[in-house]
Chain A
């Protein structure tokens, strides 16, 4: 009884009330909510954020699955260290992540590659911060996966690619999708790692979170709140999707 009360009160004060204030603010600006979210600069920032986040999700789906595969099925010296390093983006502050990328891939980088203030820089920063999601959701499924199925397929004449496509991938798919959704949600709202390296040029390299920050700084809380509501809805929808996927995965477990 007391526990439930405390939990509910804490969540209400820390999460619900502040978010309600955002929704409320978004409706009481000089412009209507709709005008604020269809402001050309806001639309451009939201579009860029969505496109880059989808790209990030796709790259993570492929590379994340590949890295998880190597970490589970391959043996090489130093594997334990590599496995630990995967979590670095979770542990490293985002502003430091942005600065590290700027040091290597910025104007003073040692390789002469300079992506600073371009859209490629945003992609790079988001790939850095979202790296662990797909790996960490796929890895445990891959460890649990019964290898006899793969051996059976191979002995029936399937080549390596066919085994992966027909046997391994269908089993991994829910985990990949749930990792991808987490990465997507993270990419949509990312600020710290992007803010230094993207240059924040309106209509060009300004992502949604940076746009909101700019609206706050220039004293337009309603404009900031309106775009925030869009991000809030996207986050919530992504979470619902992940929740649905988890339920599917557990049901699958129970049947098997």
Chain B
């Protein structure tokens, strides 16, 4: 049993799974800086929409928190990351920043962090590494699925409106992560109880930034701390013209089809590689095995409305529709959020 640091989401005195505000805020600098952050590896339970309690782990903001995904990091090329990770659990973990492109070596790693121990990772970001990264635990092949993951945004030096130097522009301070995960509670239970890890997984819950959607009428609907439709980290909200960069990271088991209503997305990268040309897509193929995509949601007036409109609420959901369920049913309780034209 892994009991040390055991927390329960949503109980009094516990901050909740949701951390931080919505968009990533960023002010470019002419000089490099050191970005320091401490994460605590904690564990606890999260209650799924059907009432099932699932054991999860996270890189959390304090020993009393359980944050899934971790609070995001943002820096620029040339900055030095100084990340301390304190392992509050009874088993060894680690903290790895994945590479930019498929096949790249990780940017940096703490190495093993023994139970109760801590490690500090120091990494100076070289030029050419602007992009979106998943940081995670790869001590085992499945720790990432338990919730031990988060997003790192590396900006081009001195820029606030480009993904990479010369990329299509987005509005400064309008960028956010969509981090997807798939949960098979049998895996989580085996980790919690120290029993054999299943040889095959069948996910039953599907999250975006750690939460599932809760449709109108459901307990918790519209609560930004519980409902992915309203979670400001996930929800896209803007006026026409407010071009927004979405950094999509797949921490989960399954490949997904990311589908936006209302606008086509401008597809900039696939698994860290800049696309040879920008395609406009309403559905993007987000691979598993740590796949990632960067795209701009342009917030153009929905082109096919008649009479024309500039306001409305639309969904982003995964089109592999199994991901729109919870516990084998409960359609609309999966990986979905809202796109709000204000």
A binds B: no
